A and B are shown apart, each in its own frame.
Chain A
Amino acid sequence: MIEHRSHTYGVLGEFDTEHQLCNAARAARQAGWVNIEGYTPFPVEALNDALGLKRNLVPLITLIGGLCGGLGGFFFQYWVNLYAYPMNVAGRPLNSWPAFIPVTFELTVLGASLSAVFGMLALNKLPEPYHPLFNVERFVKHATTDKFFLCIEARDKKFNVDDAKRFFEGVHATNISEVQDD
């Protein structure tokens, strides 16, 4: 059994609607599984509650990126105009900060946007061209098209293939498959 588990990524159940998926996710959590994950062809907000997902780190990363971009942008211009290359233009003060605002603003947006996108990708551990789920034919055909999937992962302490299969039968999954990782 232990040898078998090392090659199993988890057990995958397929559902026709997002309501069935959400109900199954809630039931799985109540049954005590922790490492479960839903797969949907479009974002389903009810699933976040069903899986108990709360906040994520993307907004914080974006805020930090934006602050770095903005402060870095402003003080870079400050340094250029006061120390690196002071230029007297029509007697204006060297720290003519209102004139630095457009570039500061643009760099704030740039820093925030880059960190939002790359932060999101990094937290999602993407790019990840191979994933065990891609070994399941029905998952490849339908997960990004029209079906809803729930996976109980083998890394869960309580995991056991037979229990998971029996659970999916109980919640009327239309298809149940064991996901092999090889």
Chain B
Amino acid sequence: MSATQPPVNSPHIRRLAPVLEPGHSYATVTDKIASIVLTRPVSIGWLAGFGLAFSIVMVLNVAVAWLIIKGVGIWSINIPIGWGFAIVNFVWWIGIGHAGTLISAILFLLNQKWRTSINRFAEAMTLFAVACAGLFPLIHTGRPWMAYYMFPYPSTMEIWPQFRSPLIWDVFAVSTYGTVSALFWFVGLIPDLATLRDHAIGKPKQIIYGMLALGWRGSARHWHRYQSAYLLLAGLATPLVLSVHTVVSFDFSVAIVPGWHTTIFPPYFVAGAIYSGFAMVLTIAIPLRAAYGLEDFITMRHLENMAKVMLATGLIVAYGYFFEFFLSLYSGNKFDVFLVQQRLHGPYNYYYFALILCNIITPQLLWFQKVRTNVAALFVMSLVINLGMWLERFVIVVISLTRDFMPSAWGRYSATIWDYATFVGTLGLFTMLLFLFVRVLPAISIAEMRELVHQTSEEHE
């Protein structure tokens, strides 16, 4: 070490917070995480949160039931705006799911240790978000009981799906994504379910966790194959997650509608998806670590890293907005130029300005370390970005559809109470599933935390 370098413990060198607070052993991480599920009594806070979310799910039930009774006319969709909230919400939810897969698969391949304590609930978030997302196109078909028409099956009518259509690609992309996310999640859970089986008190819990654990016993040969399978799944999920939002963006960009027909959509949709997904991971992680005292495992390092990912993807999204704008003007296509004018001066321009404020201007605060390490500021920021990403999809869907080629085909769009009820209902469903998840399954991967204890103790030696 040269003499000019400050000493290692100098207060001038900012040290990153550790990914795991020191002083933990295999047994303490196991007990701490497993006890949330196995021994901790149900708290008033959990009951209140679950009850509220459950009552919102009842709103969803009513909204969907009324939709099935009356038809999609209860929503404000009509010609020319056939898509409305349903598609805005679909794209928003599916985008949120993407951060879970990014954390569990891409950061795993990149060997990022900080993913370990957040991947489990991020994957759960993915599954629940995909469930909420899948609901929208299903009920938007108007006759959800006919949804199986979208799948290729040998029907007596001898017709087959149109495989050249992005909407059919979407069916395959989203259902594959849901299936692979569920597999990835379950494979990750198997060793933890075995831990829960071995620590559970009372026959019912032992039998349920025992059945789910499939008889896992940590055998070296099992681990050997398990690691191969897990690595392969991560490698498969990585291109999959990029393909899903690409296919979703094809739903727009294959159409010739102004503002949609652009090649920048796939990368810009994927970046936006990861952006909103990380915002949602923060929205969940911050209350979770406070409620269950998990600050040792979900440290400041995690929150700061997620903030950095949000900043980076936010800048990619900003670049996307800029080029969308620039290319429309540069193309000289009068419909595209007109659409830009409509975004700035049209009847929905306040949505556009709110979107720029939420997605581009506010996140610039993340350049400051003080903001990145302030839990309250991060929580507020994550909500703002979630809102901003929802507005982005609203702007894309509604402004383009209300202002296409012929003035005679223009229209206006304003959502009805049923649009809002369905959207808020899915927020309730998502929250309710998360509340259930933290009570019945380990929210942090126990086996991977033990591995992390092992790795960090080796580093200290």
Contacts and interface: CB of A to CB of B under 8 A. Distances in A.
Contacts of A30: none
B186 to A, nearest CB: 8
B276 to A, nearest CB: 22
A18 interface: yes
A144 to B, nearest CB: 4
Interface stretch (B68-76, B121-129, B228-236, B338-346): B228-236
B219 A126 contact: no
A89 B159 CA distance: 15
Question: From DSSP, what is the main secondary structure of chain A's interface residues?
Answer: helix
Contacts, number: 187
Interface in A96-133: 96, 99-100, 102-103, 105-107, 109-110, 112-114, 116-117, 119-121, 123-124, 126-131, 133
Interface residues of A, number: 63
Given A109-B176, A110-B176, A145-B27, A41 B217 contact: no
A103 B168 contact: yes
B163 A126 contact: no
B236 A113 contact: yes
Given A56-B225, A92-B164, A102 B158 contact: no
A5 B191 CA distance: 31
Contacts of A117: 183, 186-187, 229, 233
A166 B313 CA distance: 60
Given A113-B180, A129-B211, A102 B160 contact: no
Given A38-B220, A124-B225, A146-B30, A116 B232 contact: yes
A57 B228 CA distance: 9
Most buried by B among A77, A116, A128, A131: A116
Interface string A83-99: 01101010010001001
Interface in B28-81: 30
Interface of B: 25-27, 30, 152, 158-164, 166, 168-169, 172-173, 176, 179-180, 183-184, 186-187, 191, 194-195, 197-199, 210-211, 214-229, 232-233, 236-237, 239-240, 243, 247, 250, 447-448, 450-451, 454
22 contacts: A41-B218, A42-B447, A43-B227, A43-B447, A44-B223, A58-B228, A66-B236, A80-B161, A99-B163, A102-B166, A102-B250, A106-B243, A120-B226, A121-B214, A123-B225, A124-B219, A129-B215, A141-B198, A143-B217, A144-B218, A145-B199, A146-B25
